[in-house]
Structure formats: structure tokens, C-alpha cells
Amino acid sequence: MKQFFKSKFFYIITVIALLCCIVPTVFYRMGVTFAFRDAVTGVLTPMQKLFNYTAEAMDGFAAYFYRFDELVEENAVLREEVEELRSQIYDSTEREEMYAWMAGFLEMKRVRQDFKMMASSVTGRESGNYSRVLTLDAGSGAGVEVNMPVVTSEGVVGRITEVGTGWSRVTTVVESGTIIGAYVERTNEVGVCEGEFGLSGDGLLRMNYLKADTEAKVGDRVLSSGYGSVYPRGLVIGFIESMEVNPYTRGMSVTVRCAADFSELSRVMILTDFDTKVE
């Protein structure tokens, strides 16, 4: 403490204090107090503005912290509203997709009023370039049985080959060994579509027994004939992809691209009942 009173800082503070006391008195005695007042005002005005800005800022901060709890509550309410709107949009999109999917089967039902269909979702698929076996979420508990055809609005998917209580498996039409009685819609020529291992990876079938002088052309639609298979007549199998004469049988070798894209399937229809008569 004694060192403080002996320091230069103490002397400077003391001189400033004395000047603050003496100078106003001298100016007052000399009658020039206005000059001192103006000088002091010039020095203090910027400081007053700074103090005012600081006070306003402090008021703003105080008001913000005062409303902080209120803002937190409002934010929580807004979040709930946003989540509710998102849920509504999701539900609306799901409904629109479902309606669009169902609409695809209206024409099929109009043409074949005898069809009884059950909607089902694809829950699993065999890995590979082209899924040949699909798992569905409907089984014997819902009335699903082996050999029931499975379709989309685009065409045939396959048939039920294994059934559990709450699930079933579909062997698609491209699986090797699959045989479907078929005909070319435009020319009404009859043949047989068969699955081949070498074609299944590309979603193709082989159509046999068309004559070399067939009138069928690339792009013609191929439908199920209803003969010798579990599929009713009139289901779309696919479209002719290529044609060439078999050099050994001298018949026409035809490849058919499946109408249904099995790799993108998420929902299907199971034909639980239909009229077996051939038209």
C-alpha cells in the first residue's frame, strides 16, 4: 500500500483530481464557465451516446432472456406442427400411390369380372441380377394356396410355390423350367413360353413352337392361352423381343421380354379364384 502512494500513477490521479476541482473554480472566477461547460459537453456527448446504446442493448438482451422460455415453448409447438404436416404429406403420398396402383387393376377387373384378387406386399427377394423368387406377406392364414397366379397390372409375375401361415413364395415366370401356354395377340398364333437359365438374368422368356412362316413380329404382345398351365387366359406375359429361325428345327426361335419388372416390385395381386374355362 505504501508503494502505491509513492507511485507515479497515484501522483497522476491526484493531479487530475486537483485540476477537476481547481479549473472550474478558476473559470468561474474569470466568468468563462461556458467555455469549460462546452469542453466538458463535447467530451461527454459521445460517452452519453455510448451509454445509451449500451443501455438499449442491455434492455434487448434482458427482453430476450425474459422471453427465452416462451420462445422455447413456441419452438416446440412449431416442431410438432411441422412433424404433423410431414406425416400428412407422407400419408397423402402413400394414398395417391395406392390409388394409382389399384387403378391399374380396374381394366383387368373390367375385362375379367370373374377374377378375385388379394393384394400383397413383397417382403423379400432372391439376390442376383434378376430376382426369380419373391417372398410375400400373405399366406395360408389369408387363404393363399400353392399354384395361385401372381400378377401386376402390367402382366404375369409367377405362381405361388410355397406357403406358410403368414407368408408365401412366388416362383417367377423367368425361372428355368417354367412353362406357360401362350399366344400372340395380334395373329392369334399359339406357342409355349419357357424359362431358360441363360435368359432369366435379362428378364426374357423363350417362346417355342411358332412356325418359320409366322406372321408374328417384334413388338407383338404375348398373352397366356389358358392351356396346360395354372394361368388363366388373357394375362399379359410380355412382348416379342427378337425372332430368328432355328437351324436345327427350322422353326422360329422367339424371345419374349416380360411385361412385369420383378426387380422393382413392391406390391402384387394374388389371383385367388377365376373362371378356368378357355375362351
Mean pLDDT computed over 218-233: 88
- Grid cell 423363350 — which residue? 206
Kindly state whether residue 86 falls inside one of the protein's structural domains: no
**Rounded distance, CA 274 to CA 226, Å?**
11
CATH code for the domain of 256: 2.40.10.340
Interior CA angle at 184 toward 248 and 153, to 5°? 125
Q: What type of residue is 224?
A: S
Kindly state whether residue 62 falls inside one of the protein's structural domains: no
Mean pLDDT computed over 210-233: 88
pLDDT tens digits, residue range 21-63?
565 555 555 554 445 455 545 544 555 555 555 555 555 555 5
Kindly state whether residue 23 falls inside one of the protein's structural domains: no
Query: Residue 60: its pLDDT value, please?
Result: 57
Binning pLDDT at 50, 70 and 90, where does residue 187 land?
very high
Where does 6-154 have alpha helices with state H?
A: 8-30, 33-66, 68-103, 106-111
Highest mean pLDDT, choosing among 70-84, 196-210, 263-277: 196-210
Mean pLDDT computed over 238-263: 86
Direct distance between the N- and C-terminal alpha carbons of the chain, in angstroms, rounded to an integer: 119
Q: Are 191 and 240 in contact (CB under 8 A)?
A: no
Kindly state whether residue 151 falls inside one of the protein's structural domains: yes
Highest mean pLDDT, choosing among 55-64, 88-97, 196-205: 196-205
Kindly state whether residue 52 falls inside one of the protein's structural domains: no
Mean pLDDT of the chain: 77
> Is a pLDDT exceeding 70 seen at residue 233?
yes
- DSSP assignment of 204-234 equals EEEEEEE-TT----TT-EEEE--SSSSSPTT
> What is the number of domains present in the chain?
1
| H or E, element range at 3 | helix 2-5
Q: What is the DSSP letter of 137?
A: S
Kindly state whether residue 140 falls inside one of the protein's structural domains: yes
Cell numbers for 224 = 397366356
Kindly state whether residue 12 falls inside one of the protein's structural domains: no
- Grid cell 428378364 — which residue? 203
> Is a pLDDT exceeding 70 seen at residue 101?
no
**Rounded distance, CA 193 to CA 170, Å?**
18
CA-to-CA dists, residue 94 to 59, 84, 90, 176, 236, angstroms: 51, 15, 6, 36, 27
| Domain, as residue range, for 132 | 115-273
Exposed e or buried b per residue across 80-112, where buried means at least 16 C-beta atoms within 10 angstroms of its C-beta:
eeeeeeeeeeeeeeeeeeeeeeeeebeebeeeb
Kindly state whether residue 147 falls inside one of the protein's structural domains: yes
- Nearest residue to 188 via CA among 164, 215, 213, 163: 215
pLDDT tens digits, residue range 140-175?
999 999 999 999 888 899 999 999 999 999 999 998
Exposed/middle/buried for residue 127 (C-beta within 10 Å: 0-12, 13-18, 19+)? exposed
Query: Residue 37: its pLDDT value, please?
Result: 52
CA dihedral 154, 160, 164, 168 (to 10 degrees): -30
Query: Residue 66: its pLDDT value, please?
Result: 54
